[in-house]
Amino acid sequence: MKTFFVKTLALLSTVFAVSAASAAFAIQPAMPDKDDPGIFMLYATDAAQQCYNAAQTGADLKFGLEHCNVAVIDPLTNYRAQTFVNRGIIRYDMGDGGGALSDFNIALTNNPTLGDAYLNRALVLISQKEPEEALAAINQGIALGATNLQIAYYSRGEIEDDAGQYAAAYRDYRQALEIKPDYAPAQRQLARFKVVPTAQ
């Protein structure tokens, strides 16, 4: 027997926002990480799209996270792995690095060919001071054609730079600029370098 839930997802009202600011929720539900085949959900809003919008814009992250949580348990959600990536981005932006890493790992379990999940996983690992693991994830993301390759090459350059591998870092910063010529982080890093001809 299927259970039917009708959900209307909308912006929180002003009254609720005021009362929520003063009240602490005693019970926080666990972050869902899989669908429940016994539940069929109906919405007035596309939860996965709202999740994506929040991940892309970085605006109204709590609202976006709520939609992500709905989308990842919905058995009818298309692009489930990408939805976990979007939720991971939101969780990371909200300061939950461990939760973000968990979501990127779940995304890769669902779709191991998703280059963006590897790249996002690497960025969390960099923030957690795990450069070797991050480098492996970046290389995998590059091999799979992650969407923002300039970020991949820039991030790999930062790891190489920190390890004293300046020539490799320089090449990766240059590669980031070849992909996106106005990429300011790579421009700033390259401004530090002075290329001198080798003695013959």
CA angle at residue 103 from 98 to 107, to 5 degrees? 150
pLDDT band at 52 (very low <50, low <70, confident <90, very high): very high
Per-residue model confidence (pLDDT) at position 8: 32
- For domain 112-194, the question of CATH label 1.25.40.10 is answered with yes
Q: Tell which residue, 9, 113, 110, has the closest CA to residue 60.
A: 9
What are the tens digits of pLDDT across the range 73-115? 988 888 899 999 999 999 999 999 999 999 999 999 999 999 9
The answer to whether the beta carbons of residues 45 and 10 sit under 8 Å apart is yes
Query: What confidence tens digit (pLDDT) does each residue in 171-193 have?
Result: 999 999 999 999 999 999 999 99
Which residues in the chain are classed under CATH 1.25.40.10? 112-194
pLDDT for res 197: 80
User: Does pLDDT of 154 surpass 80?
Assistant: yes
Using N-to-C axis directions, what is the helix angle for 115-127 and 131-143, rounded to 10°? 160
Give the model's confidence band at 153: pLDDT under 50 very low, under 70 low, under 90 confident, else very high: very high
39 pLDDT above the threshold of 80: no
Judged against a pLDDT cut of 80, whether residue 16 lies above it is answered with no
**For residue 195, what pLDDT is reported?**
79
Residue 127 predicted with pLDDT over 50: yes
Model-level pTM greater than 0.75?
no
pLDDT for the residue 194: 86
Q: What is the pLDDT of residue 37?
A: 59
pLDDT at position 74 is 87
Q: What are phi and psi of 3, to 5 degrees?
A: -95, 135
Q: Which of 130, 188, 127 is nearest to 154 (CA)?
A: 188
Is the pLDDT assigned to residue 42 strictly greater than 70?
Answer: no
What is the per-residue pLDDT for 75? 85
Query: 8-23 in b/e burial notation, b at 16+ Cβ within 10 A?
Result: eeeeeeeeeeeeeeee
Q: Is the pLDDT of residue 7 over 80?
A: no
